[in-house]
Chains A and B, each alone.
Chain A
Amino acid sequence: GAVVSQHPSWVICKSGTSVKIECRSLDFQATTMFWYRQFPKQSLMLMATSNEGSKATYEQGVEKDKFLINHASLTLSTLTVTSAHPEDSSFYICSARRLAEGRNIQYFGAGTRLSVL
């Protein structure tokens, strides 16, 4: 099956600092990756769609200057949480769409738990 690696799995940072989360498709190319946020005991909320070589598309209500997304290659997308604050503490999950299987299967990373002190 397709493998998506997400790093780090857990990060603790001080308020005001920036944190970068990486999402890599290990055995396939992904022109499109997705970033989700999941609050405790809740479903996944799509934050943005990351397109290789172009600007990300953000969902309504998501601050693009707070959550910077870079999709520099067909196998790597990064999410940077800038000037993090305690309310940004959450579980962030990425997924990648596999080209070979068409548009409609997303494979997920293992997620990153962000704790902002």
Chain B
Amino acid sequence: AQTVTQSQPEMSVQEAETVTLSCTYDTSESDYYLFWYKQPPSRQMILVIRQEAYKQQNATENRFSVNFQKAAKSFSLKISDSQLGDAAMYFCAYIQGGSEKLVFGKGTKLTVNP
């Protein structure tokens, strides 16, 4: 079964600085997708970024970018110029191609210090 591991239960960053959240996954499949979701205190899950496994280029969305290392099965999220509104739980998630089930990691709580 596929698993997603987030080894950092909590992280903190100073406002305007950069932080990287780690995620590793385990799969024997070649067709899959990876996601980072953000869950702020409101608890609304928000899609931050998506990566297709077949794409070598790392996905980028404004201040958010990923470092996708397929051979190492690593999918880290980099947040640049951190803002107070970035404070949230961040969940890494995996979905196998042809499947509809998202597999979530346990999450990383990010605190942004002013």
> A residues near B, CB below 8 A?
32, 34, 38, 42-44, 46, 49, 91, 93, 95, 97, 103-111
* B-chain residues with CB within 8 Å of residue A34 when the two chains form the complex: 100, 102
Contact with A along B79-114 (1 / 0, CB 8 A): 000000000000100010111111011110000000
Residue of B nearest to A101 (CB): B50
Q: Give the contact-size bracket for chain B.
A: 20 to 34
A32-B100, A43-B105, A105-B50 in contact; A91/B43 too (CB < 8 A)? yes
Q: Is the interface of B mostly helix, strand, loop or mixed?
A: loop
Residue of B nearest to A1 (CB): B47
5 additional contacts (CB under 8 A) given A44-B91, A93-B43? A42-B106, A44-B45, A91-B43, A95-B45, A104-B95
Tell which of B44, B46, B95, B98 has the most Cβ of chain A within 10 Å. Answer: B44
CA distance A107 to B102 in the complex (A): 12
B43 touches A49 (CB 8 A): no
A43 touches B100 (CB 8 A): no
A104 touches B97 (CB 8 A): yes
Out of A42, A49, A93, A111, name the residue touching B101 (CB < 8 Å): A49
CA distance A38 to B104 in the complex (A): 11
